[in-house]
Amino acid sequence: MNNCIFCKIIKGEILAHKVFEDENFLAFLDIHPTSPGHVQVIPKEHVRWVWDVENIGEYFEVVRKIAKAQQKAFETDWILSKIVGDEIEHAHIWVYPNNKVTGDKMDFENNAGKIRNSL
């Protein structure tokens, strides 16, 4: 989709702090984080709703992988997720540590590195 910000991130037209990428999915830090390590997990194929992702089981396995890495990276068991889809018309799942996690939520390089190193 031409005007989709997530499709532009996938194509490399917009820079993002990637924490995970494979053939079908991409996970990157949210630019307006709720907490340190707030990640968006998206399918690389432009799909409007999470429920329409063809390989949804694989999608949720990636989400789990990110959540487990966040638990380790931010030393918390409390990882939240959110699926709404009204902000951007591309399937996405928010995955983020609770708001009691300390640290600078805008320190993208450090937070991305912590998650990548915990995968």
DSSP bridge partners of 93: 41
CB 19 within 8 A of CB 39: yes
Q: Can you tell me the distance from the alpha carbon of 59 to that of 3, in angstroms, rounded to the nearest whole number? A: 23
Joined together, the tokens standing for residue 11 give 């194509």
Establish whether 90 is a catalytic residue: no
Q: Can you tell me the distance from the alpha carbon of 97 to that of 5, in angstroms, rounded to the nearest whole number? A: 24
Residue 56: its H or E element? helix 56-73
Catalytic site residue from 17, 38, 90, 92:
92
Residues belonging to the active site = 92
